[in-house]
Amino acid sequence: MSIPESFSIRRRVFTLGVLLLACALIGLVFFLRGYAQRAAEQAFDRLLAASALTIAGSVQIEDNNVTVEPPVSSLAMLSGGERVFYEARASNGRLITGYDDLAPGLPLAQSAAPVFAYLNYHDEPVRVATVGRLVSASQHAGWVTVRVAETLGSRAALADEILGRSVLPLIVVSLVALGLLWFGVQRAFAPLGVVERELRSRAPEDLAPLVTPVPREVKRLVEALNAFMQRLSGIMDTLNTLVADAAHQVRTPLASLRAQAEVALDETDPQRLHARLERIHQNATHASQLINQLLMDATITHRLGKGARTLVGVAETINETRRRIGPLEAQRLRIEIAPGVRRARIAGDRVALREMLRNLVDNALRYAPAGPVDIQATPVAGFRVALTVSDRGPGVADDEKDAVQQRFVRGRAGDMQPGSGLGLAIVRSVAAAHGGSLWLQDRPGGGLTARIILPLARSAPWRSAAAGLGALCVAGLLLAAAPTGVRAADVSEIVTRYPAPQPSSRVLTIAGPTDTPVVAPLIQGFQSQRPDVTVVYRELGSRELYEAAVEGRLKDVDVLMSSASDLQIRLANDGYALSYASPYAAKLPSWAIWRHEVYGFTFEPAVIVYNPKRFTEATVPRSRQDLLRLLERDPARLHGRVGTYDISASSVGYLLAEQDELVSSNFWGLANAMGQVGVRLSATSAEILDAIERDDIDLGYNILGSYALSRQAAGSPIGVVFPQDYVLVLARSVLIARTAPNPDLGRALVDWLLSPAGQQVASSHAALGSIMEDTPGRWTSEAVLARSQGIVQPVVLSPALLVGLDQRRHSRFVQNWIRLVTDTPARDFP
């Protein structure tokens, strides 16, 4: 029995098998999906109830008033990747602590048994657990209601994981079945071998259509192959035409040269013979120039394709170009090299860079034969250099400035001049291969200005010089060079504008408490990658930054950058941040990222700073226990000579103090000892460091190492000690504001801060400390770990930091600390 050509065994068998397997899989998947959701809900509900019960266990009666102070474990036990909210209410519904608007529609608790509910909070679904705690104040008893809510992402992730692990065996079995089915179908398609053998036996240039009879299942494949060979044939014809055109560019002047020579051989009139010779010379010059440019184009393309790079001096390239110009033409050159780039180098190909500049100079000399040609080398923001060649020739029309940079294209002004249209194309390709760009501009007063902007190589001499000056000095020089800062009249902040190196209307606005001189190198480095972006930096306190964001006064801000990690987490937890999965997130330590909304990008230890006039490396306290013993042993000498953060005014100081209290059993004893010697309190690191430099105090405790190390590198008379018991490490963090007018620029900044280039600036220039491993520089996470003999304890970006911001806990902590540090009477010393 013959089988009709339209009959498809593969479609019939394979489709039937797939449908049967798909129906079975779908039924099992629906069953497993319901099971996975129920299992995930039960597991997370138990955690949520445990968190609420832990908070309920902290309910106390003080002066007939109910107080609640959530322990750190109450929120730390929950998933670190979800938003967490909580509240505690008295029996009359009065808020004791937490979020006032969490669940206004849910009834108050009437028993200790957990009650669960789903609702929307801040436009996001959450699961709420409600428990009650029976308390008695005076003669009245009532239920304190405690609620804890968590977003549902981790529940869905667990359900998906359970479903995935359950479905995986089914998928494997299905794939095996499909493989066997496919094997049987393949055996039925032996005619495919005929097509294969015919294709293998063909010559490379044979692009004729396949005419072998094939079944219907293979017919479309053959048609597609034939269509592809037809398109390939067309492409080859086009390529041959291009080669012919290039050959014609050479053949035409050679043919004209030969014809002129033949006519000249028969010419007897001396004047006509001289005219013929001039034409021969003109055509020979044109042919020579064309051949040279074609050969040089091929040479440069080959050299750039190899990718070899050496350090080429800017001044060396200009001088070598001048030497290769004829002596008479070289007298017309006026060269000006700025002092800042005389020793600068470019990582690239020496021959390609030389020919790039030579083509520009040759064009300028040819099209402006009567005037001088100016060559300038000037520095450009973002560690780049601009090579500018200017003439007083006819210039290039605006509608031709892009076209003349293409191969074999010439402008209207060059019709009367010999040329091939390859010069500017070579310049553009060399500049692009070196990470630069070519710009053609009209010169004021007439003429043309060709401007090439290239990145400079960060060679060893440049790096060592920057390190020798110190990061803080470099930041100051950068600020003095370009941007200007002004203090706003109506708010307590400093606004600094960094204009874009290239004219553009794009503006990225950053707000944060980081000192402007410290953040300046980061901004300059970002602009080296994005020269089309103007950056505005608004410096204001960390608490002011948080309050302004909550009150909606930062509508024009794209990125929030702060060392107060707890406030950053609170903003993200409350929905003020955009989520962005940076491609560099996988390389970050797990403790330095939360929900792809808050990213830590620095590694800043808390250190002890000392006055070298009073202490040496051998006598300075090297741990908190040593410091406590010193304060108790020699209070007279240290009276008024110790400084630390005022945690009631400094958010960073409060965060460090709270972390100390969680880790150290000596925290409150150390606070009491500081109060005994009349500790001096400051809101910023700079004030404490200034006091040590002025010899006003001898010791500074829990100071951010980024500021201390940068001052020490700049030559300030201070000493820095990494505590030997444990070292707290902060990660300065960034988040993209939910109302950011330019979220794409915010994402670009986050990527740059986490990229190798941004991390190198953080470790080498800003002295903030790089968090990524294998980053070159002086202040890296590896260097910090090497200098510390104790345990390195990072401040983890997680909802556990929200506990420290609880109204009741924060108030009680600060009051206890103030009572010990400021209200404790200092001893009287003779």
pLDDT digits (tens, 9 = 90+) for 73-126: 888 888 778 889 999 998 888 898 889 889 888 999 888 788 999 999 988 999
| Percent helix, percent strand, percent coil in the chain, to nearest 5 | 50, 20, 30
CA neighbor of 734 nearest in space, from 532, 530, 508: 508
Three-state SS at 289 = helix
* pLDDT at residue 74, as a whole number: 85
* pLDDT at residue 573, as a whole number: 92
* pLDDT at residue 238, as a whole number: 47
Same domain, 620 and 742: no
* pLDDT at residue 237, as a whole number: 66
Same domain, 343 and 383: yes
CA neighbor of 797 nearest in space, from 534, 483, 539, 563: 563
Q: Cα–Cα distance between 559 and 746 in angstroms, integer?
A: 6
H helices within 267-390, ranges in order? 270-306, 314-323, 327-330, 350-367
Q: What is the pTM of this model?
A: 0.57
Cα–chain center distance at 304? 29
Q: Which two tokens stand for residue 368?
A: 């402006």
Q: Cα–Cα distance between 407 and 396 in angstroms, integer?
A: 16
Number of neighbours of residue 623 by Cβ within 10 angstroms: 17
Q: Cα–Cα distance between 648 and 774 in angstroms, integer?
A: 38
Answer whether residue 19 is part of any domain: no
Q: Which two tokens stand for residue 59?
A: 């309910």
Same domain, 72 and 147: yes
> What residue type is assigned to position 272 of the chain?
R
- For residue 718, the enclosing domain spans 604-730+798-821
User: HSE (CB half, 13 Å, CA atoms) of 601?
Assistant: 29
Q: Cα–Cα distance between 801 and 189 in angstroms, integer?
A: 65
Same domain, 311 and 434: yes
* pLDDT at residue 125, as a whole number: 94
CA neighbor of 683 nearest in space, from 727, 651, 726, 729: 651
Parallel/antiparallel/unpaired status of strands 484-487 and 448-455? unpaired
pLDDT in tens, 168-183: 887 888 888 878 777 7
Same domain, 528 and 662: no
Q: Which two tokens stand for residue 685?
A: 């690191």
pLDDT in tens, 715-770: 889 999 998 888 899 999 999 999 999 999 999 999 999 999 999 888 887 568 89
Answer whether residue 207 is part of any domain: no
H helices within 765-806, ranges in order? 781-787
Which residues make beta-bridge pairs with 129? 116, 148
Query: Which CATH number does the domain housing residue 42 bear?
Result: 3.30.450
Placement of tokens 């359950």 in the chain: 166
Q: Cα–Cα distance between 247 and 257 in angstroms, integer?
A: 16
**Averaged pLDDT for residues 511-523:** 88
829 pLDDT higher than 70: no
Answer whether residue 228 is part of any domain: no
Domain boundary among 429, 457, 485: 457
pLDDT in tens, 625-678: 899 999 998 888 899 999 999 998 888 899 999 888 887 777 888 999 999 898
Instruction: Answer yes or no: are the C-beta atoms of 141 and 132 closer than 8 Å.
Output: no
Q: Cα–Cα distance between 14 and 161 in angstroms, integer?
A: 30
- The residues near 447 (Cβ < 8 Å, ≥ 6 apart) are 368, 371, 390, 391, 392, 393, 395
> What residue type is assigned to position 328 of the chain?
L
Q: Cα–Cα distance between 630 and 736 in angstroms, integer?
A: 45
Q: Confidence class of residue 477 from pLDDT cuts 50, 70 and 90?
A: very low
* Kind and range of the H or E run holding 822: none
Three-state SS at 265 = helix
pLDDT in tens, 62-73: 766 788 888 888
Instruction: Answer yes or no: are the C-beta atoms of 557 and 743 closer than 8 Å.
Output: no
Q: Which two tokens stand for residue 676?
A: 């005994």
Where would I find the beta strands (DSSP E) of 447-576?
448-455, 484-487, 494-498, 506-512, 533-539, 559-562
Q: How far are the Cα atoms of 27, 58, 98, 569 from residue 809, in angstroms, in the given order?
A: 52, 11, 11, 17
Answer whether residue 258 is part of any domain: no
Instruction: Answer yes or no: are the C-beta atoms of 514 and 561 closer than 8 Å.
Output: yes
Instruction: Answer yes or no: are the C-beta atoms of 389 and 364 closer than 8 Å.
Output: yes
Task: Write the DSSP string, 572-617.
Answer: HHTT-EE----TTGGGS-GGGEETTTEEE-B-EEEEEEE-TTT--T
pLDDT in tens, 254-309: 666 667 676 667 677 777 777 777 777 666 766 666 666 666 666 676 666 566 67
Q: What is the dihedral of CA 794, 799, 804, 806, to 10 degrees?
A: 170
Same domain, 726 and 739: no
Q: Confidence class of residue 486 from pLDDT cuts 50, 70 and 90?
A: very low
CA neighbor of 736 nearest in space, from 610, 628, 563, 578: 578
Evaluated on CA atoms 495, 499, 505, 506, the torsion sign reads negative
Q: Cα–Cα distance between 334 and 471 in angstroms, integer?
A: 37
685 pLDDT higher than 90: no
Answer whether residue 785 is part of any domain: no
**Averaged pLDDT for residues 146-165:** 89
The residue among 658 and 197 whose pLDDT is bigger is: 658
pLDDT in tens, 686-701: 899 999 999 999 999 9
Q: Cα–Cα distance between 537 and 551 in angstroms, integer?
A: 19
Answer whether residue 109 is part of any domain: yes
14-53 b/e with 16+ CB inside 10 Å = b?
Answer: beebeeebeeeeeeeeeebbeebbeebbeebbebbbbbbb
Three-state SS at 443 = coil
Domain boundary among 457, 487, 512: 457
Same domain, 662 and 811: yes
- The residues near 409 (Cβ < 8 Å, ≥ 6 apart) are 403, 421, 425
Total count of domains within the chain: 4
> What residue type is assigned to position 731 of the chain?
A
Answer whether residue 115 is part of any domain: yes
Same domain, 389 and 452: yes
Parallel/antiparallel/unpaired status of strands 604-610 and 642-645? unpaired
* Kind and range of the H or E run holding 775: none
Task: Write the DSSP string, 38-105.
Answer: HHHHHHHHHHHHHHHHHHHTTEEEETTEEEE---HHHHHTS-TTS-EEEEEE-TTS-EEEE-TTS-TT
In terms of Cβ atoms closer than 10 Å to its own Cβ (0-12, 13-18, 19+), residue 659 is buried
Same domain, 425 and 316: yes
Instruction: Answer yes or no: are the C-beta atoms of 780 and 602 closer than 8 Å.
Output: no
Placement of tokens 């909210």 in the chain: 85
CA neighbor of 730 nearest in space, from 510, 511, 562: 562
Q: Which two tokens stand for residue 620?
A: 């300075």
* pLDDT at residue 57, as a whole number: 81
* pLDDT at residue 473, as a whole number: 34
Same domain, 505 and 356: no
Domain boundary among 142, 160, 178: 160
> What residue type is assigned to position 774 of the chain?
D
Task: For the chain, give the mean pLDDT.
Answer: 82
Answer whether residue 88 is part of any domain: yes
Length of the chain: 830
Three-state SS at 769 = coil
CA neighbor of 795 nearest in space, from 72, 51, 99, 55: 72
* pLDDT at residue 329, as a whole number: 80
31 pLDDT higher than 70: yes
> What residue type is assigned to position 405 of the chain?
Q
Same domain, 444 and 350: yes
Percent of the chain with pLDDT over 90: 27
DSSP classification of residue 266:
H
Instruction: Answer yes or no: are the C-beta atoms of 754 and 599 closer than 8 Å.
Output: yes
Q: Cα–Cα distance between 410 and 403 in angstroms, integer?
A: 8
Query: Which CATH number does the domain housing residue 511 bear?
Result: 3.40.190.10
* pLDDT at residue 812, as a whole number: 85
pLDDT in tens, 582-622: 999 999 998 999 989 999 999 989 999 999 999 998 899 98
**Averaged pLDDT for residues 157-164:** 87
Instruction: Answer yes or no: are the C-beta atoms of 598 and 569 closer than 8 Å.
Output: yes
> What residue type is assigned to position 402 of the chain?
D
Q: Cα–Cα distance between 725 and 667 in angstroms, integer?
A: 13
Query: Which CATH number does the domain housing residue 340 bear?
Result: 3.30.565.10
Same domain, 413 and 366: yes
Q: Cα–Cα distance between 732 and 104 in angstroms, integer?
A: 36
* pLDDT at residue 569, as a whole number: 93
Which residues make beta-bridge pairs with 85? 149
Q: Cα–Cα distance between 654 and 318 in angstroms, integer?
A: 57
